[in-house]
Structure 1
Amino acid sequence: MLFHALGLGLLSALVQTGSAANIFVSHYTGVVYTLTLTGSTLTQNSTVTLGGQPSWMTFNSTDRTLYVADETGSGSASVWSVAAATNGGLKQSGKASAPLGAVANVQYGGGNYLASAHYQTSIISTHKLPLSGSALQTFSLTMSARGPNSRQDAPHPHETIVDPTEQFILAPDLGADLIRIYRIDASTGKLIACTPYTDTPGTGPRHATFWGKNVLYVGNELANSVHAFTVSYPDGGCLTLTKFQTITTMPGGKAAPSGTKVGEVRVKDNSLYASNRRDLSFSPNDSMAAFSLDTSGTMTFQAITTSGGTYPRTFQINKAGDMVVIGDQTTANVVVVKRDVATGALGPQIASMRIGVAGHAENDDGLSAVLWDE
């Protein structure tokens, strides 16, 4: 089942009534951009060159600061802060040394700390904010044995997220088939390792999102599926997870085409979304999968729609819930699509813009991340 596009007349009316919105974009060439969406037109506003390989951005809208991870794989790596003016201007405001290979970060502890996942070097690191010097803390991750997939040669944490109570940080580990759990020491900002959740060998958990306080969804890159977990908070103990559903990201529960890799997962209201990289369902473009959620959080597959490019590494839903920005890594284009706030359906496309140089499938190049400025 595919969502049908709205009529052109209705689309024109929708985009003409919207006001301008800014979008942050990072590119593996070392540059962060601001784009402005006005109606159905994207224009480049400002840039800042950081160097390295910017791979992920976290935005604090209160102090208007971007925290940018660096996936640099040799030599030395950094983590940067970037001041974002309300007019779209960008300026580097801080920098600290960091372990190599960072692919995600998250702010925590009342905005005073940053936790990062380092895929290549099997490390979780933390930094005190504002950024300076080196890491506050590093966890060198281990695993008992190689996994069944060739990419599971070592621990590969792929994201750090904070739970809704702001007491814990979770890190899906693609290499070790674990969801690592850390308790936050509120007085120091340091993390204390808890017992991780152990998943089925070959699952490859990559990205996660909470739905309320008690449901967690995890997108699995190697299994091309999404898990749903019930989240429990024992008094004085560590957060625990209980899996209650697994669903594929393809129509009819089909197996994903060879080479497909689930990317991000995001939730909005009673809908969940996952990006399918390299599935070519809309040849030559890839797809976005949409699921509806019932009152218990159980997922029902709804549809796939085009991502508007190839390798949708990252996407985000705006706060109003009526637009989604998609970052297609390999084609290096930013795509904005409508979202029906009543049904959760995605489409049609509002705008698309190529940013910097295109990448190559399976390589760490091209466009890396997109975020709404809000």
Structure 2
Amino acid sequence: MTALAGCGEKSEAPKPVAEEQGTAKPAVVESRFAIGGYTDGPGQGVNGLSLNHATGELTSLGLLAETVNPSYVVFNEDATVMYTVNEKEHGGISAFTLNTTNKTFTLTAATQGVAYAPCHISLSPNGKFIAVANYMSGDVQLFSRAADANLALVSAQQHTGKGPNESRQEAPHPHWINWSPDGKFVYSVDLGIDQIIKYTVTEQGFSAGEPAITLQGGDGPRHMVFHANKDIAYVVNELSNTVAVLSYNPETGALTEMQRIGTLDPAFSEHSQTAAIKVSSDQRFVYASNRGANTIAVFAVAADGRLTYVHEHATEGKWPRDFTLTSDGKYVLVANEHSSTITLLARDSETGKLSSTGKSIATHRPTAVVEF
């Protein structure tokens, strides 16, 4: 933060340190996004789009990779390899390598028939492993990742139990899996059993899982995100339409609930269920999407990590399954599954509030939007 000159004394404003050293980062002009989604036939898969940060224009990049139901997508460190789940009955994962000539991705490896409805995929911080959450088969899997993008199943762990919601919690339903920021633990968020399961990973695979926390019955936890500067995690609960603020013990991996806060306007009485949760790059705000209400709820982060409701903004589409904040924090792109649109919202970096840009682009049944 630049210091202010003293009142009544004329002085030249100092240059930012980065500018003096010649290391100031240029403003983002354009960025690219991969759009995962559900497919109905051939010629579909992961689509691409670009965003002009100056004008807010969204431009289709066409089909990046043809594949079946790539409902979630992750990239390697330099975005030259893309991994997708294939969310189907005899599902699995696929690996694609960037074709630098036409900027599309070519299938390199695929492991199919190993899971029922894989719905989330993540890459380990050291780049050695891929973890997958399988919604219908109720298990999580670990794959080794070779330099040539080939994949080998190393380990699988079956979740057990059920929850009080008879239609949604009749069995385990892992919906998200990822590593803690320090890379020590892997967490799987299970909607069906109201638990977040903790694992460690070795070359031999997953350790035996144990609950890091059991949430309230009927919460239906869906996705989780960690705060980058605090020992705090935020989990969005699909069935109770809440965000739970959890303290994280970096020694044991235990999670403890500190707060829960609703994602919906109290005046809203129709059906809705949460989906995605994200933290702004400055770590000052948390965002959660509401499918049904078709809004994104904004929360301010306090010094202790607790949240205060700021406002909700319409996603200008139906069923916001996923969204992402651009790397410069200026925009939010929302994947509206049921209206088959990506809408662009503007973001105020000081208040965290969202506003309309009037910009959108059509894309078939989007379920994930990832900058690369």
TM-score range, shorter-chain basis? Answer: 0.7 to 0.9
Asked if the contact 1:45/1:88 (under 8 Å) is kept, the reply is no
Task: Give the counterpart letter for 1:257 in structure 2.
Answer: S
Asked if the contact 1:26/1:33 (under 8 Å) is kept, the reply is yes
Distance 1:170 1:255, change over 3 A: farther
Output aligned runs, 1:290-301, within 5 Å: 290-301=298-309
Output aligned runs, 1:1-374, within 5 Å: 19-29=29-39, 30-38=44-52, 39-73=55-89, 76-84=90-98, 88-97=103-112, 98-108=114-124, 110-130=126-146, 131-132=149-150, 134-143=152-161, 145-185=162-202, 187-212=203-228, 213-234=230-251, 238-251=252-265, 254=266, 257-268=269-280, 269-279=283-293, 286-349=294-357, 351-356=359-364, 366-373=365-372
Greater RCO, CA 8 A, separation 6+: 1
Asked if the contact 1:325/1:372 (under 8 Å) is kept, the reply is no
Structure 2 segments unaligned to the other structure (5+ residues): 1-26
Query: What is the alpha-carbon distance in structure 2 between the residues aligned to residue 370 and residue 176 of structure 1?
Result: 27
Q: CA deviation at 1:164?
A: 1.0
Secondary structure of the structure 2 residue equivalent to 1:147:
coil
Task: Give the counterpart letter for 2:262 in structure 1.
Answer: T
Q: CA deviation at 1:233?
A: 2.5
Query: What is the alpha-carbon distance in structure 2 between the residues aligned to residue 19 and residue 334 of structure 1?
Result: 19
Secondary structure of the structure 1 residue equivalent to 2:369:
strand
Task: Give the counterpart letter for 2:51 in structure 1.
Answer: L
1:320-341 CA deviation, whole Å, 9 max, x = no partner? 1111111111111111221112
Query: What is the alpha-carbon distance in structure 2 between the residues aligned to residue 36 and residue 298 of structure 1?
Result: 34
Task: Give the counterpart letter for 2:326 in structure 1.
Answer: N
Query: What is the alpha-carbon distance in structure 2 between the residues aligned to residue 368 and residue 117 of structure 1?
Result: 15
Q: CA deviation at 1:94?
A: 2.2
Coordinate RMSD, CA, aligned: 2.0
Query: What is the alpha-carbon distance in structure 1 between the residues aligned to residue 257 and residue 331 of structure 2?
Result: 30
Task: Give the counterpart letter for 1:54 in structure 2.
Answer: P
Task: Give the counterpart letter for 1:53 in structure 2.
Answer: N
Query: What is the alpha-carbon distance in structure 2 between the residues aligned to residue 158 and residue 184 of structure 1?
Result: 19
1:299-355 CA deviation, whole Å, 9 max, x = no partner? 000000011201100011122111111111111111122111222111222621011
Task: Give the counterpart letter for 2:357 in structure 1.
Answer: Q
Q: CA deviation at 1:27?
A: 2.4
Structure exhibiting the larger radius of gyration computed from Cα positions: 2
1:243-300 CA deviation, whole Å, 9 max, x = no partner? 010000023xx27533201001101121000000012xxxxxx111000011101100
Query: What is the alpha-carbon distance in structure 1 between the residues aligned to residue 205 and residue 105 of structure 2?
Result: 28
1:72-118 CA deviation, whole Å, 9 max, x = no partner? 02xx2220122345774232232122312011011115111111111
Asked if the contact 2:133/2:188 (under 8 Å) is kept, the reply is yes
Query: What is the alpha-carbon distance in structure 1 between the residues aligned to residue 143 and residue 72 of structure 2?
Result: 16
Distance 1:45 1:133, change over 3 A: closer
Query: What is the alpha-carbon distance in structure 2 between the residues aligned to residue 192 and residue 184 of structure 1?
Result: 10
Query: What is the alpha-carbon distance in structure 2 between the residues aligned to residue 162 and residue 100 of structure 1?
Result: 22
Q: How many residue pairs are counted as aligned between the two chains?
A: 333
Distance 1:132 1:60, change over 3 A: closer
Secondary structure of the structure 2 residue equivalent to 1:180:
strand
Query: TM-score w.r.t. structure 1 length?
Result: 0.84
Asked if the contact 1:48/1:92 (under 8 Å) is kept, the reply is no
Task: Give the counterpart letter for 1:160 in structure 2.
Answer: I
Asked if the contact 2:199/2:206 (under 8 Å) is kept, the reply is no
Distance 1:88 1:312, change over 3 A: farther
Secondary structure of the structure 1 residue equivalent to 2:132:
strand
Task: Give the counterpart letter for 1:287 in structure 2.
Answer: T
Query: What is the alpha-carbon distance in structure 2 between the residues aligned to residue 222 and residue 206 of structure 1?
Result: 9
Query: What is the alpha-carbon distance in structure 2 between the residues aligned to residue 307 and residue 117 of structure 1?
Result: 27
Asked if the contact 1:208/1:265 (under 8 Å) is kept, the reply is yes
Query: What is the alpha-carbon distance in structure 2 between the residues aligned to residue 341 and residue 27 of structure 1?
Result: 29
Asked if the contact 1:59/1:65 (under 8 Å) is kept, the reply is yes
Task: Give the counterpart letter for 2:369 in structure 1.
Answer: V
Query: What is the alpha-carbon distance in structure 2 between the residues aligned to residue 275 and residue 63 of structure 1?
Result: 26
Query: What is the alpha-carbon distance in structure 2 between the residues aligned to residue 165 and residue 261 of structure 1?
Result: 30
Distance 1:256 1:81, change over 3 A: farther
Distance 1:247 1:71, change over 3 A: same
1:182-211 CA deviation, whole Å, 9 max, x = no partner? 1122x4454442334111111100011001
More moved, 104-113 vs 56-65: 56-65
Distance 1:20 1:319, change over 3 A: closer
Distance 1:85 1:49, change over 3 A: closer
Asked if the contact 1:109/1:189 (under 8 Å) is kept, the reply is no
